[in-house]
Amino acid sequence: MKPVSNTPDWVLAALETRRQQNLMREAVTLQSPQVPHTHINNQPFTAFCSNDYLGLANHPQLIKAMQDAALQYGVGGGSSHLVCGHLAPHQALEDALADWLGYERVLLFSTGYMANLGVISALAGKQRPVLQDKLNHASLIDGAMLAQAPLRRYLHADVTSAEKRLSKSNQAGLLVTDGVFSMDGDIAPLTSLSGLASQHDWVFMVDDAHGVGCLGESGRGAMALAGLTSAHVPLLVGTFGKAFGTAGAFVATSHDFADYLTQFARPYVYTTSMSPAMTGATLASLQLIQGEEGQVRRAKLAEHIVYFRQRMQVLPVELMPSNTAIQPIVLGDSQRALRVSEQLRSLGIWCTAIRPPTVPVGGARLRITLSAAHSHADLVLLCDALERVLAVDLCC
């Protein structure tokens, strides 16, 4: 007897629409650590889609630090930071991050999504609007929606468009941008945006999830690359799941803002703290990023970026204007992006096709991400495969 489905028709219809539009998403299971040479479905691949930009996710020093922290403090936070979940490793990491980034305080969050939801929903509201870049991460947009704040969006990285929006508002609020844009790889015009925020008495917030660890002096991110300090960017959000190679997030800010968020940022107040074991690993990662090994890895990543862009210049494809680890190749329609991704897999290259609604309609792409853990031979393999696949695809 065939089982009776209790799934509503509207759910089935939405799924079918996604299938028809080549937009269905599915998880794949890796059978190895987060390293360039991985196994998926028992097949070997060289992966170019991880955000492990510095190649620290499987670093032995992080593994040991996590084990040591777990032995001393356990693996669970046990409670929220404000009940009994704020352990010594949390405080040590907050202090180290604040000192490194030049801020008075740092608050830890379990994920970057929660950090952005927490900060924006606490600071924005019906009387405090939010102005955001058109291509900001979904978590930033959702934070404004959660706050029920008036939300305006300016043209991507367009300071003139942002200024027009600010000038039309009769209420001061929150000006928010990514530091490095996750799907395009370009860097926001932080200096100009900071000046606009100051001129109009708005609070400036930067989510530098993809820049911290990789860019600027000692890896302090896009803000440091632009020569900005905490005086220019009152609220800096960063994550540990990318260059740090661990998990979790933080907001760096002033004592006053930190006290305010401690009272009103609901994802901070009502969520169990991140694992003290993970916190120990993240502190070890920070020390690597700050030291000589971090410099070496950033330099290697920069070499990979230069080589990749030089090789891609000869191909008749749209390469985004990015000097970061994120190197997207825009292919247009979703079906083509899926086809090229599958052809690369047949050559041992794993690079996921990114499609709407993650990117705009007509902007489906290969979001190629480079890592310091890649070898030069890996880059040669990738570029040779792209030349071969794209040459065939363009002929068809």
- Distance set, CA 153 to CA 166, 201, 251, 267 (Å): 10, 18, 23, 24
Which among 366, 334, 373, 362 has a CA at the least distance from the CA of 350?
Answer: 366
Question: At CB < 8 A and 24+ separation, what contacts does 41-46 make?
Answer: 44/348, 45/345, 45/348, 45/349, 45/350, 46/348, 46/349, 46/350, 46/374, 46/378, 46/381, 46/382
Q: Is 112 annotated as a binding residue?
A: yes
Q: Is 137 annotated as a binding residue?
A: yes
Q: Is 179 annotated as a binding residue?
A: no
Distance of CA 35 to the CA centre of its chain: 18
**Beta-strand pair 105-109/174-178:** unpaired
Cβ neighbors of 200 (< 8 A, separation 6 or more) are 166, 167, 169, 172
Alpha carbon distance 368, 372 (integer Å): 14
Residues recognised as catalytic? 182, 210, 242
**Beta-strand pair 37-40/151-154:** unpaired
Q: Is 25 annotated as a binding residue?
A: yes
Q: Is 304 annotated as a binding residue?
A: no
Q: Is 182 annotated as a binding residue?
A: yes
**Beta-strand pair 349-350/43-47:** parallel
**First-to-final CA distance of the chain:** 47
DSSP lists the bridge partners of residue 328 as 367
Cβ neighbors of 271 (< 8 A, separation 6 or more) are 80, 109, 110, 114
Alpha carbon distance 153, 141 (integer Å): 9
Alpha carbon distance 318, 186 (integer Å): 14
Q: Is 19 annotated as a binding residue?
A: no
Q: Are 229 and 204 in contact (CB under 8 A)?
A: no
Backbone angles phi, psi at 312, to 5 degrees: -75, -20
Q: Is 239 annotated as a binding residue?
A: yes
Q: Are 166 and 175 in contact (CB under 8 A)?
A: yes
What three-state secondary structure class fits 229? coil
Residues placed in the known binding site for substrate: 25, 137, 358
Residues placed in the known binding site: 25, 112-113, 137, 182, 210, 239, 358
